[in-house]
Amino acid sequence: MNWARAFFGILVIAVGTLLLLDNLDVLDAGEVIGTWWPIVLVAAGVIGLAANPRHWVVPAILILGGGGVLLRTTGVIDSLGFVIPVVVILVGLFLLFGRDSLSGRTEAGDSVASFSLFAGSEMASHSKGFQGGRVGAVFGGAELDLRDAGLAPGATLDVFAAFGGVEVRVPQGWRVDINGFPIFGGFENATAKDSVPADAPHLTIGATVLFGALEVKH
């Protein structure tokens, strides 16, 4: 499952449900959102941490910061005094080790599973039987370099970008098809103009782009 896509889908459904219940005078949507909105930060942090444990700094800030604010908005605590110093320490770690903990080029192997949250990631595969996988970017960017890779039959890549961008680089001679829909975003397949034989290696990309971009090029 693409957890980033599921997260945004659930978020949209939740907001729509709240607005509907508000119009039916069942509850006050403004009051509910004002109290429980920090859950969004916590959930985003958990998803980011589960997807990329090595990129832990920003997810940890979201979890701790969002959790602290949630305790405050629900009246469990009266002050954020104990949360703020921890968040400041994590921000310091981000500044000190940000390059190592948030980005850096990694080897994808036969498949890729990457999620970038408020950060950037660079991946490359040298596998001669690349099968596909999942790449997500939320308020960040991701680059997947497949120029030295070969494709396994039926290779499929699932891409999700929200307020961010994903770039996929492929070698000459591949046929790349993009299926999906952009929502206030766009796809650009610079390889579409290439003339390739019918039996050329074929990569299918299933993409959902929300206020973002997907670019495929050589």
pLDDT at 114: 83
Take residue 135 and report the two structure tokens written for it: 């790449």
For residues 19 and 9, give the distance between their C-alpha atoms in angstroms, rounded to a whole number: 16
The Cβ of residue 99 has, within 10 Å, a number of other Cβ atoms equal to 8
Take residue 152 and report the two structure tokens written for it: 């396994």
For residues 143 and 135, give the distance between their C-alpha atoms in angstroms, rounded to a whole number: 9
Strand ranges (E), 50-110: 105-107
pLDDT at 45: 83
pLDDT in tens, 64-108: 888 888 888 898 888 777 777 877 877 777 666 554 444 456 788
Write the DSSP symbol of residue 2: -
pLDDT at 100: 47
The rounded mean pLDDT for the chain is 85
Mean pLDDT (whole number) for 170-190: 91
Are the CB atoms for 105 and 121 separated by under 8 Å?
no
pLDDT at 58: 75
pLDDT in tens, 131-153: 999 998 888 889 999 999 999 99
pLDDT in tens, 36-59: 999 988 888 887 777 667 667 778
Q: Which of 84-93, 115-124, 173-182 has the lowest mean pLDDT?
A: 84-93
Mean pLDDT (whole number) for 172-187: 90
pLDDT of 204 > 50? The answer is yes
Tokens 């796809």, located at residue: 187
What b-and-e string marks burial along 158-191, b requiring 16 or more CB atoms within 10 Å of the CB? bbbbbebbbbbbbeeebbbebeeebeebebebeb
For residues 172 and 59, give the distance between their C-alpha atoms in angstroms, rounded to a whole number: 37
Q: Is the pTM of this model over 0.75?
A: no
pLDDT at 83: 72
> Count of residues for the chain?
218
Q: How many percent of the chain have pLDDT more than 70?
A: 90
pLDDT at 217: 94
Residues β-bridged to residue 137: 116, 161
Cβ-Cβ contacts under 8 Å for 128 (sequence gap 6 or more) = 149, 150
Amino acid at 26: V
